[in-house]
Amino acid sequence: MKIGKIMFIRPGRRFLRMGFGPPMGILYLISALRNRYPNKYQFELIEQALYELSSEQVLKRFQKFDPDMVCFSAMSMEAGEMEEIARLVKKEKPNCITVLGGPHASIFYDWALKNSDIDYVVIG
């Protein structure tokens, strides 16, 4: 399968008293891929909590962009939302590659590998 479109999703719900910072890890990955492979990939970044998007709204953006790969970066408190979106992605497009990274994947990689809607886990 040729990968041309990559969607990055930072899942989660808005929490009171929590500030938002830019998703630096995701932004570094996009920058590195753009520098190494100019004009090869198209990217979309979804900040679910920042824009208070429901899982269904994220799915609509997924359908519109129609990516070949979806990469999640999640903390443990965002894992439930990530699981729901990954399930919707695989139901909509079963051959879409799903990747989980971030703190939750690094700590609970064994759980992540058992999740049938996640194809790859990146730890570190």
Q: What is the pLDDT of residues 58-98, one digit of tens each?
A: 999 999 999 999 999 998 888 889 999 999 999 999 999 99
Q: How many domains does the chain have?
A: 1
Return the structure tokens found at 87: 């399930």
Residue 33 lies in a domain: yes
In a domain, 55, yes or no: yes
Kindly report the average pLDDT of the chain as a whole number: 91
Domain that holds residue 80: 5-10+25-121
CA 45 to the chain's CA centroid: 8
In the prediction, which pLDDT does 1 show? Answer: 77
CA nearest 8: which of 55, 60, 62, 57?
Answer: 62
Residue 20 included in any domain: no
15 found inside a domain: no
Residue 18 domain-assigned (yes or no): no
Average of per-residue pLDDT across 46-56: 91
Residue 15: predicted pLDDT: 62
